């Protein structure tokens, strides 16, 4: 049994696997603040709350620190749905 556990640990270590947290829990979808970098999760089937919008198609973050999660930390969409750069706080 110890050999099996040691082999499993070695396999995970050598494969470079890295586990990331999901942006939202199962049964939820991510939304972003209009004009700012805030975000939230909404239960499937519920409407997007006022002041929020869905992420543009194909640009939805799935996991913490993935490509789109990092991108949306400095970008947002305006009230017309246009992607904008959000200035960093001073």
pLDDT tens-place values along the chain, 90 residues long: 655 445 444 444 444 556 789 999 999 999 999 999 999 999 999 999 999 999 999 999 999 999 999 999 999 999 999 999 998 765
| Helix or strand (DSSP H, E) at 12 | helix 2-15
Residue 33: CA count within 13 A, CB half-sphere = 10
The residue extents of the domains of the chain are 20-83
């Amino acid at each position: 049994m110890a050999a099996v556990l040691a082999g499993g640990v070695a396999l995970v270590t050598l494969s470079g696997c890295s586990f990331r947290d999901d942006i939202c829990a199962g049964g939820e979808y991510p939304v972003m603040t209009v004009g700012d970098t805030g975000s939230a999760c909404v239960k499937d089937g519920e409407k997007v709350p006022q002041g929020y919008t869905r992420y543009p198609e194909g640009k939805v973050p799935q996991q913490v620190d993935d490509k789109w999660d990092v991108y949306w930390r400095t970008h947002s969409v305006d009230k017309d749905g246009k992607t904008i750069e959000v200035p960093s706080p001073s």
